[in-house]
Amino acid sequence: MDYAQKLDRMDKHLEEHPHDYQTVIARLKTQSDMIDHEMRKSRCKRLKRLAEIRRKRKERKNGEEFIE
C-alpha cells in the first residue's frame, strides 16, 4: 500500500471538505499505519543485517575463511 499517495488524496479531500471529520480520523489512522509500517520495515532490515553478521562470525569461528 502506498501510504503517501493515500495521505495526499485525503489532504486534497480535506481542502475541499474541511468539516469531514471521518476523513480526519481516517487520515490519522493511515498516518499511524504508515509510521508503524516504516518502523517494522526498519526493524526487519536491522534483524536481517544482524543475522548476516552472525552467520559470517560463525563461519569464521568454524575455521572457514569468508571472503566478501
What is this structure's pTM? 0.72
Q: Cα(24)–Cα(17) distance, rounded to whole angstroms?
A: 10
Tens-place pLDDT, residues 38-59:
999 999 999 999 999 999 998 8
Tens-place pLDDT, residues 21-35:
999 999 999 999 999
Q: How far is CA 34 from the centre of its chain?
A: 7
CA atoms within 13 A on the CB side of 18: 1
